[in-house]
Amino acid sequence: MADNMIRFLVLCLVFLSFESGAQVTAQWRGPERTGIYPAGNRSAQWPENGPKMLWSIEGIGNGYSSAVADNDNIFVTGLKGSQDMMTCLSMDGKIRWQTPFGPAWKGSFPETRTTPTVDGNRVYAISGGGTIACLDTSSGKILWSLDGIATFQGVCGTWGVCESPLIHGDQIIYTPAGSKTLMVSLDKLSGKTTWMSETLNDTSAYVSPLLVKQGGKEIIVTLAERWFFGVDASNGRILWKYDFASLMPEKGLHIWPGAPRTNTITPLFDDGMIYITGGYDHAGVMFRLSENGDTITRVWIDTVLDCHHGGVVKVGNYIYGSNWIDNSRGKWCCLEWTTGKLMYESEWFTKGAIIAAGNMLFCLDEKKGNMGMVRATPEKFDVVSSFRVPMGRGPFWAHPVIHNGKLLLRHGDALMIYDISEK
């Protein structure tokens, strides 16, 4: 009798978890938004011409966003006409549905940039024009949507809204900025506002937020144009802020006039330490969170790894990424996490996007589309295998994705799926 009751309770918990979409199955830069993917059963080296392409597809719309996959589907956003569109694909590359979900950005670089977030049987995205939408994963039906810019009097920068939605429990997090509020929480099932933070009278940046835990608190950390800040996820209270735009280290030349305010990189967090970086000769900074999470203290500053928009990863005690020399050039770098010490700065084509799995980095140069598998070692930029992405047009700005032994590469209107599992 007792055993049967336990089984019943377990089944109820599983059912409730499924119904509420409690488990995030796919999102921006991997399971924890860190750029780190499960090591899995990966091949140690690729053939000379690269791993086997399982399939490819065109017609997903132009975009710089990444594809994401749960156990059943692949989701990707793309520009079609003046609308951002969500495409749902089967695991063998068949289109299941396509749904326009909001107005695209009308300014320069209008291509879609928000990576979807899958949560149970719902998928969320934010259009370049600021519409937040929730769609049914099976049918593509829009369950709710709202104009985040109009609703919260948001103010975005030169390249529109680039934020990929963060799901936390029953919340979806969005950063409209402006004079009314800085960050808001919406009920993920209805879209209704659950809290609004105070305003810092800032402009939104191009950063997708990160959730960290410290001192019993759950804290959302991200950047606007000027401020780096942390928000209590339970009530929207701004716990701390740091004027990142005004940071002017001796070697920070700020060649690009808007450099201090063009923030694109999701922060890294580990063991109470938070790292942020910005391109255009701006600085990277390491902070330490207080034990209760209410304050931050600056630990070190670096002016070498000024990452443009390809992301950074932490593997072991080291940070890896590429820096900005100019809009066409950049080098690949490694810093020591605890001290900021430069371990290497190496040339390999040009700057680009980086993710990691196990002891390997996966680096995509943004100009020619060279995809490299690189050992994660502080000794040198050690390329094990590489190949060139054959399809699509425009810059290679979409970050690579790894899912169940497959490498997902998006380039413009094309999506390519490669088998990188060990044979």
pLDDT of residue 423 exceeding 90, the answer is: no
CA distances from 168 to 20, 27, 53, 129, 234 (A): 12, 12, 35, 23, 10
Contact, 97 vs 90, CB < 8 A? no
Higher pLDDT, 262 or 89: 89
pLDDT over 70 at 23, yes or no: no
Query: Would you say residue 41 has pLDDT above 90?
Result: no
Q: Assign 66 a pLDDT band (cuts: 50, 70, 90).
A: very high
pLDDT at 163: 97
pLDDT at 2 > cutoff 70? no
pLDDT of residue 351: 98
β-sheet bridge partners, residue 336: 318
- The whole-angstrom separation of Cα 57 and Cα 371 is 19
Question: What's the CA gap between 336 and 356, in Å, rounded?
Answer: 17
Q: Is the pTM of this model over 0.95?
A: no
DSSP run (H or E) holding 152? helix 148-152
181, 201 in Cβ contact below 8 A? no
Q: Which of 315, 289, 240, 283 is nearest to 34 (CA)?
A: 315
In the chain, the domains with their CATH numbers are 64-206 (2.40.128.630)
CA distances from 98 to 22, 35, 66 (A): 25, 27, 16
Spatial separation of the C-alpha atoms in residues 153 and 30, rounded to whole Å: 31
Residue 17's pLDDT band, with cuts at 50, 70 and 90, is: very low
- Percent of the chain at pLDDT > 90 equals 85
Summarised one tens digit per residue, pLDDT across range 165-190 is 999 999 999 999 999 999 999 999 99
Q: How many CA atoms lie within 13 A of 294 on its CB side?
A: 1
Q: Which residue has the higher pLDDT, 308 or 13?
A: 308
